[in-house]
Structure 1
Amino acid sequence: MNVRLKRAKELAGYAVQLTKDEGLGTMLARGAGFVKRRCFGKKARYLPTKKVLEAQRAELAGQTADSCGLPTISILTPLYNTPEPYLREFLNSFVDQTAPNGQLCLADASDAEHDAVKRIVEEYQAKNQRIVYKKIENKGIAANTNAAASLATGDYLALADHDDILAPHAMYTMGKAILQLRERGEPDGFLYSDEALFSKSIQRPIVAHFKPDYAPDYLLCCNYICHLAVFQKALWDAVGGERPECDGSQDHDLFLRLIEQVGGAAHVPQVLYYWRVHAGSTSGGTEAKPYVAAAAKKALADHLARTGRTGTVEDGLFPSTYRVKWDIEGDPKVSILIPNKDHTDDLEKCLQSIWKKTTWDNYEIIVIENNSTDPATFAYYEKAKQRYDGLKVVTYPEKGFNFSGINNFGRKAAAGDYLLLLNNDVEVRNGDWLTELLRQCAHKGGAAICGAMLYYPDETLQHAGVITGLGGYAGHSHKYKQKGGSGYLFRIATVQDFSAVTGACLLVKASVYDEVGGLDEQFAVAFNDVDFCLRVRDAGCRIAWTPYAELTHYESKSRGGDEKDPAKAARFAAEQQRLYAIHGKENILDDPYYNPNLTRDREDFSESDDLRGLKAGKVTVRFRGGEA
C-alpha cells in the first residue's frame, strides 16, 4: 500500500470516528475547512479578523500605557543601515498595535551614508512618543541590543529585528497572557509566541512556525523559540543582558540563561511576529551567517557548565541544529525485555542484531515466553541460551496476549537500573543505539523515558515520537515520511520532548517504572505505552526521543492486523475509551508538545484546516517547567 493510500484510509477512518463522537455537523465543518484551505487562498490566514482587531482597539480606546492595565513591554531593536521600505513597515507595525502598552527602543548603529534611518525614525517619533531612539557606535548585535535595552522603561522586554514586522495584536496578546499567568500564580518571567515567514506582505505569509510548549531537550538542539520572546526586565538585568561573545546566536544564549532563572517558559500559540525572508537574513538559514554555529555551540557548552552537567556539544544532522552528547553517569545496567510467541525467525534476527552490534556492554536480555504453540520454539530457546551468553527465558503464566501483563511479569526477573521494552520484530541498525538512549536519561536532570527512531523495512518512518490527539487518540510523528529528512522545524532530526513514545522500543528508569506501577494491564494491546508515558509525564518526569538510536520495525508481524477481527476491534475500541476515561478527552486532544494550529487529522505536521483560534485572536498561554 503506498503512502497516499495509507493516509487516505486513515483520514476516512478518522472522519467516520469523528462523526460517531461529535456528529455529522462537526465532521462536515472540518471537511469544509479542509477543502477551503487546500483549494482557496491563504490570505492573512494567521491574522485575527478585522472585527477582532477593532474590538481590541475599542477595548483600550483612550487608554495609555500607564492606564490600560496591561504590563508595558519595551521592544529592543538595533538598527543598522535599514532599507527605508523595511524600516517604515516595521515602524508602522509598532504604531498600529491594538494596545498602547508597547515601547519601541531603537539603537541606531547605521553608518554616515545611511543618515536617512535617523530622519525616518524622527518622523515617526513626532507622531508617537512611545518610540525612543539613540545613535550608537556599531559594536555588534549583542552590544547594540544592550544599548537599546538602556532606553527601556517597561517591566518587560522583547526582541525584534529591524527588517521584520510585529503582528498588530502582539502587545495586546502578550500583555493579556502575562496577566493570565499572574492570575494562575504561574511564573511570568519568560514567554514566547509562534511566528510566520513572509517575503513581501504579511497578508501573504509563506509558512508559520507553530511551536510546541516549552521543550527543554528541543531547545538544546536548536533555537526553536526565536520570535516573539518576552521576558522580565529584572531578569535581563540579573543575567547581564546579551553576551557579545555569542554574537550570531546571542538570542539562543540569552534564552538559555533566562530559563535558568525562571525554571521554564510560557508559550502563547498565536502568530505574533512576521520574519522577513531575504538575502542575508537568518530566517532563510544559517548559511547566510556561518559564524552562527560556533556561537551556538559556545552558548550551549556554557549552559551545561552553569547547570553542572557534562557532555560535549557537536553539530547536528542539519545546519543550525546541534547535539549534546551527554556523559553517562556510572555504568547503568539495562534489562532488555522481549515478549515472544513463536515467530522465532523474527526473534533470532532481533537477538542477533543486539549481540552483534550493540556497543554498550552492560545489559541483559530477558525473553518472555507467551503461550507459544510450536514445539520448535522451545527448542530454539535452549539453543539460543547456549549461543547468547546470559540470555534468560521466563514463561508468562497467564493465557492470551496482554502486552502490559507480559512486560510487568518480565520486570520481576530484571536486575537492571533501566528497563528496555523491545518488540521481537525489531532489528538494531546502529551499534550505539542503546548508548544513545541512555545518554538522554542517565545524567543529571535526564529524562525518565527515551524512545528511538524506528523505520519500516521500506525506509519510511514508523516512529519518531507519539503525539496524543492525532486521529482523536494518538499517532506517530511524521509517520511514513522518507528517511533522511529533517521534518517539521527539524523535529525528526533533533532530540525531542514528547508526551509519549512507542513501547516497541522504550527505555525507562526501573525506579520510575515501579513508582507508577508499571504498565496498566487493562490496556492489554493498545495504548498501554501511551497511558504509561502520560502517567510518567504527569508525575513530573520528561519523555525524550532521539534520532540517534535507529532500529527497523517489522510492525505487527507478531500479532497481525486486529481490525478484521470483530472481537479484537471491539477490544481496541474499549481501550480507546479507557484512554479518554483515565486521562480526559480534552487532555488527550491537547498535547503540549504539539501546536493546536497543526492538524490532528494527519501525522505529517501540516497546518490545521481549522485556524479559528488564530482568527479569533484567542489569548491562551501555558507555562511548562523543566531544566533545559
Structure 2
Amino acid sequence: MAGSSRGKPDSPLKRAERVLRRLRGSAVRILRTGRTVAVAGRTDLAALARRAAPLPRPEAVVVCLEPSPEAVRAGRRCLDALVDQALPCAHVTLLAPRAVLAQFDGVAEAADTTLLDLDAMGGSVTRGLRAVLAAGRGAPVAVWDAAAAPCDDAVLWITSTWARHPGPRALYADHVETDDTTRDTAATQLHLKPRFSPIHLLARDVVAPMVVYEPQVLAAAVERLATEPQPATGPGALYAIALEALGGLTLADVAHVAEPLNVLPVRSAAAEHAIAADRAAVAAAALARRGIDAVVRPLDACPGVHDVAPRAAHAPRVSIIIPTKNGAELVTTCVESARAQAGYEAYDVTVIDHASDEPALLDYLARESAASRLRVFPYAGPFNFAAMNNAAVKATEGSWLLFLNNDVSDFSPGWLADLVAVTELDPRIAAVGARLRYPDGDLQHGGAILDRKRMCLHLHRGRPADDPGYLGRVASLQEFSAVTAACVLVRRSAFVQLGGFDERFPNDYNDIDLCLRLRRAGWKVVYAPRVQAVHWESRTRRVGGTARDLFVSRWAPSLARDDFFHPYLSPTEFVPDGLARVWRERKRVALASLVAGPLPRPAPMFIAPPRGLKHAA
C-alpha cells in the first residue's frame, strides 16, 4: 500500500477510454436494473412468508419516548407497519408515555399488542424491557425506535436470517432515510452499514433504528443498566442499551441484514444536533462503566458521529521504527515532527539505515545517535520492507511497535498518546492506524478495504480534507480489515506471535497481509481518525515488483467480501452503486434467495425467562 503513487494527469486517450468504460458500465447497470425489477415482480412475498412460517418469530417492542403529536403519528405508523407484515411478529409491545398510549385505545385488542406506560416506570426504558422479558415469551426481542417504519418484509428478513445464522446473539439491518415533504427520490439516502464492530458502535449508533436481541443478552444489559443512578431517558436511551448489550460481542455473534428493513424520516438540523449531543453523553457513560476515561463529543460537521478521545491509564513503551535510504530532509522532518507532537514520553526511535551514502543523512544520524536521541540499525541487501522491519524489531524493546515511513510528517498534537489510548478500548486490539493526508490536504488513507478486482484500496482516497466520507466513516473510530503500515501501532506480542511481516511481500501487500493475519488470529485492527499526519507517499523509492499472486491465493475468500465494506457500495466512489434506485426490488430478490435455502429445524418456541427478572412496577 505504501508503494503506490497518485500518478500523472490522464492523457486524452486515457480520458476517452474512461468515458467508454463509463458508457459500458451504464449499459450494464441498465440491464441489471431491468433484470432485478423483473425478478422482483415475479416474487410472491406471501409464498415466502408461508415457507418461513414454521420458524420462531421475534416479538417487537416499539419504544416511543416523547409525548408529542409527531411521536403519536410515528408510533401509529410503526405499529401499522408491524401489523401489516408479510410474516407477523410473535407479539407487539408499545412502550410509550401515558399521553401517547391514550391515543391508542382499542389497539391492544385489535392487534395482539401490549401497551406499557413509560411514565409509570419513571421514564425508564430498561424497566419497560424488564417487564417484556419477565413475560417469558422466549422469542428474540426486536426493539424498534418508533420513528422508524418497518418495511413489509422486515420480520420475514429477521426470522429467516436469525434461523440461518450460527448462534446469533443480536441482529441489526440497513435502513433508508427519506424526506416526507418531497417526492424527490434523490432525497432518499441509503444507510448501507458495515458488519458489526463494538469499536465502531462507540463512534456512531450504527445499529439504529432496530436491534434484535437474544433474550439473555438483553436481560443482562438491562439488569446492569438498572443500577445506574441516572439512566438514559432521552433520545440516547436505546443507544445506551445497544452499547451495554453488544459491547462484549464479536462480529461472529451479531448478524447483519445487508438490506434496508426500515424507513426513517430525515430529521431537522436542530433535532439532529440534540440527538447527537445526547448520544455522545451516552457513549461517554458506557466507556466510564468499563473503567475507561474518555471525552466524547459530537462532530458538528458530521451528524451522528462522535469524536472519541480516550485517555490512556498506562504508558507502555513504544519503539518507533523508521526505514530509510538517504532522504536526509525527509527523515529529519519526520523525526522532529514526531517528537514535537508526540504528547507521550515512553518511546524510543530506531532508524533503519539501508546502506545510505548521503552525507547529510549520515551526519544527522551520527549526531542523534551520539546524543542517545535515536538508534541506528544498519541494513544491507536488496530492498525488502518486511525483512528490514522484522530485523529491526529484534533490536527494540517496546511492548508496542510503531512502524513509520520516512515521508510522514506534520503530525496532529498528541498523536502518539492518542494511538496508545485507543489500544485500551479493547484488549483484543493489535493494530491502530492513522488518518493520512497528501500535502495538498486531500485524504490519502482512511482505512483499507479489500476488493476482488483491485485487491486493496484506501477508503475515500483523494477526498477533500473536510469531507467526512460516506456516513461519516472518514471521521469515525472503527475497525477495518487493514490499515497502512505508513503509520501503524502494533502490539509486539501479536506481531511476534505471527512471525512479523511475511518477507515474501518485499514491496507491497506486507502491511495488508499482516493485518489480515492478525484478524484471523482473533485480534482487532482499528482506524483512529483523531491521529492525523501528512504522507508524501514513496518520495524516495518506486515499487519494483509485486507479490500479487501470492496475496490473491492466500486471501481470495476475504477479497470476495470485506467485512467492513458493504457489498452494495462502489469500491472506487464509496457511494451506493447503480442499483440503489431499485433497492426494494433488489432486496426482494435477495430475500427469495435466502428463504429458498434449506430450512433449519425449528427451535423450541418457549424459553424460560432469565433468572432474577421481575415484573416492572
Which band: TM-score by shorter chain? 0.7 to 0.9
Counterpart residue number, 2:40:
49
TM-score, normalised by the number of residues in structure 1: 0.80
- Distance between the aligned counterparts of 1:615 and 1:252, measured in 2? 29
Q: Which of 546, 551, 565 is the aligned partner of 1:579?
A: 551
Counterpart residue number, 2:574:
605
Cα contact 1:466–1:502 (8 A) shared by 2: yes
- Distance between the aligned counterparts of 2:329 and 2:27, measured in 1? 48
Q: Which of 14, 20, 32 is the aligned partner of 2:27?
A: 32
> Aligned partner of 1:198: which letter?
T
Counterpart residue number, 1:393:
376
- Distance between the aligned counterparts of 1:480 and 1:401, measured in 2? 28
Note closer, same or farther for the CA distance 1:474–1:106 as it changes in structure 2 (3 Å cut).
same
Q: Which of 82, 87, 97 is the aligned partner of 1:109?
A: 97
- Distance between the aligned counterparts of 2:92 and 2:118, measured in 1? 16
Deviation at 1:389, TM superposition (A): 3.6
Note closer, same or farther for the CA distance 1:593–1:493 as it changes in structure 2 (3 Å cut).
same
- Distance between the aligned counterparts of 1:592 and 1:457, measured in 2? 31
Q: Which of 560, 578, 587 is the aligned partner of 1:589?
A: 560
Deviation at 1:420, TM superposition (A): 0.9
Gaps of 5+ in 2: 1-5, 596-617
SS in 2 for 1:300: helix
Counterpart residue number, 1:196:
176
Counterpart residue number, 2:283:
300
> Aligned partner of 1:427: which letter?
S
Counterpart residue number, 2:436:
454
Gaps of 5+ in 1: 17-26, 563-567, 622-628
> Aligned partner of 1:313: which letter?
V
SS in 2 for 1:490: helix
Cα contact 2:411–2:533 (8 A) shared by 1: yes
Counterpart residue number, 1:289:
274
Deviation at 1:134, TM superposition (A): 5.6
> Aligned partner of 2:47: which letter?
A
Note closer, same or farther for the CA distance 1:30–1:476 as it changes in structure 2 (3 Å cut).
same
> Aligned partner of 2:565: which letter?
Y
Deviation at 1:131, TM superposition (A): 3.8
Cα contact 1:98–1:168 (8 A) shared by 2: yes
Counterpart residue number, 1:269:
258
Counterpart residue number, 2:232:
246
Note closer, same or farther for the CA distance 1:137–1:395 as it changes in structure 2 (3 Å cut).
closer
- Distance between the aligned counterparts of 1:443 and 1:115, measured in 2? 44
Deviation at 1:341, TM superposition (A): 1.0
SS in 2 for 1:168: coil
Counterpart residue number, 1:22:
none
- Distance between the aligned counterparts of 1:35 and 1:50, measured in 2? 17
SS in 1 for 2:243: helix
Counterpart residue number, 1:166:
150
Deviation at 1:404, TM superposition (A): 0.7
Deviation at 1:610, TM superposition (A): 5.1
Counterpart residue number, 1:528:
510
Note closer, same or farther for the CA distance 1:525–1:357 as it changes in structure 2 (3 Å cut).
same
Note closer, same or farther for the CA distance 1:134–1:448 as it changes in structure 2 (3 Å cut).
closer
> Aligned partner of 1:32: which letter?
A
Deviation at 1:236, TM superposition (A): 3.0
Counterpart residue number, 1:256:
243
> Aligned partner of 1:473: which letter?
M
The CA deviation string for residues 395-450 of structure 1, in whole angstroms up to 9 with x for no partner, is: 2122x221111111211221211111111111032231111111112566251111
> Aligned partner of 2:577: which letter?
S
- Distance between the aligned counterparts of 1:29 and 1:616, measured in 2? 24
Note closer, same or farther for the CA distance 1:389–1:620 as it changes in structure 2 (3 Å cut).
farther
Note closer, same or farther for the CA distance 1:440–1:278 as it changes in structure 2 (3 Å cut).
closer
Note closer, same or farther for the CA distance 1:34–1:2 as it changes in structure 2 (3 Å cut).
farther
Kindly indicate whether residue 343 of structure 2 is the aligned counterpart of residue 359 of structure 1.
yes
Cα contact 1:74–1:152 (8 A) shared by 2: no
CA RMSD, 1 decimal: 3.8
> Aligned partner of 1:460: which letter?
D
Q: Tell me the matched-pair count.
A: 568
SS in 2 for 1:378: helix
Note closer, same or farther for the CA distance 1:12–1:105 as it changes in structure 2 (3 Å cut).
farther
Deviation at 1:517, TM superposition (A): 0.7
Note closer, same or farther for the CA distance 1:620–1:369 as it changes in structure 2 (3 Å cut).
farther
- Distance between the aligned counterparts of 1:408 and 1:221, measured in 2? 34
Q: Which of 526, 529, 535 is the aligned partner of 1:547?
A: 529
Deviation at 1:96, TM superposition (A): 2.8
Note closer, same or farther for the CA distance 1:466–1:356 as it changes in structure 2 (3 Å cut).
same
SS in 1 for 2:468: coil
TM-score, normalised by the number of residues in structure 2: 0.81
> Aligned partner of 1:606: which letter?
V
Q: Which of 402, 405, 417 is the aligned partner of 2:384?
A: 402
SS in 1 for 2:476: coil
SS in 2 for 1:524: coil
- Distance between the aligned counterparts of 1:265 and 1:490, measured in 2? 22
Note closer, same or farther for the CA distance 1:378–1:552 as it changes in structure 2 (3 Å cut).
same
Cα contact 2:78–2:150 (8 A) shared by 1: yes
Counterpart residue number, 2:587:
614
Deviation at 1:372, TM superposition (A): 3.0
> Aligned partner of 2:477: which letter?
V
Matches within 5 A, 1:45-444: 49-52=40-43, 54=44, 56-61=45-50, 68-78=54-64, 80-82=67-69, 89-107=77-95, 109=97, 111=99, 117-118=104-105, 121=107, 126=110, 129-133=111-115, 137=119, 140=123, 142=125, 146=129, 149=132, 153=137, 155-181=139-165, 184=166, 186=167, 188-200=168-180, 204=185, 206-240=188-222, 245-247=231-233, 248-260=235-247, 264-279=253-268, 286-287=271-272, 289=274, 293-294=277-278, 296-297=280-281, 299-307=282-290, 309-318=291-300, 320-374=304-358, 376-386=360-370, 389-398=372-381, 400-442=382-424
Note closer, same or farther for the CA distance 1:135–1:384 as it changes in structure 2 (3 Å cut).
closer
The CA deviation string for residues 206-231 of structure 1, in whole angstroms up to 9 with x for no partner, is: 11111111112111122111122111
Greater shift after overlay, 90-99 or 314-323? 314-323
The CA deviation string for residues 137-157 of structure 1, in whole angstroms up to 9 with x for no partner, is: 575473795498478946122
Note closer, same or farther for the CA distance 1:33–1:165 as it changes in structure 2 (3 Å cut).
farther
Cα contact 2:198–2:246 (8 A) shared by 1: no
Identity across aligned pairs (percent)? 25
